[in-house]
Amino acid sequence: MNKQIIINGSHNRNGDTTKLIQEIYPEIASLKLIDYTIEIYNYDETYSDKDQFLKIINQLIEVDKIIFATPVYWYSMSSLMKIFFDRLTDLISSQETIGRKLMGKKVSVITSSIGNHLDDNFFLPFIETANYLHLEYIGGKHYLKQNNV
């Protein structure tokens, strides 16, 4: 199995991040967080029936590599991606059995923006979350918006 999936954290379904994904990874399935209901993390770790976080996680269990794609908003990942990452902590506590199924998967990050203002610190939340969940972080790459993207 060498299956991959892209988690698109853009708020714009057809924006620059989506265009970038289509340009550099046309053959890889992409999942748009904007199309799912993901409730914000709460300390009780209880969520309504509308919450679809585990539906996404069950798709991730079936792949070998996860590519996180996010536009850069004010020097950070999108709020959709941040909510998703906050919920990943559920997978160590209340959803440990499911979380263990993600261990060892490869993860990488691509970002898009109109400015070249990122340094390696931008990728720190991705790196540390990968470490926390025992995933293999294999790198991040920033793409500047071009006239054709």
Q: What's the chain look like in SS3?
A: CCCEEEEECCCCCCCHHHHHHHHHCCCCEEEEHHHCCCCCCCCCCCCCCCCCHHHHHHHHHCCCEEEEEEECECCECCHHHHHHHHHHHHHCCCCHHHHHCCCCCEEEEEEEECCCCCCHHHHHHHHHHHHHHCCEEEEEEEEECCCCC
Residue 149 has pLDDT above 50, yes or no: no
**Residue with more model confidence, 30 or 99:** 30
Per-residue pLDDT at 105: 96
Sorted by where each starts, the structural domains of the chain and their CATH numbers stand as 4-144 (3.40.50.360)
The amino acid at 69: A
60-87 tens-digit pLDDT: 999 999 999 999 988 889 999 999 999 9
Per-residue pLDDT at 148: 47
30-53 tens-digit pLDDT: 999 999 999 999 988 889 999 999
Mean pLDDT, rounded, of the chain: 91
Per-residue pLDDT at 74: 82
What mean pLDDT comes out for the span 97-121? 87
Global pTM reads 0.92
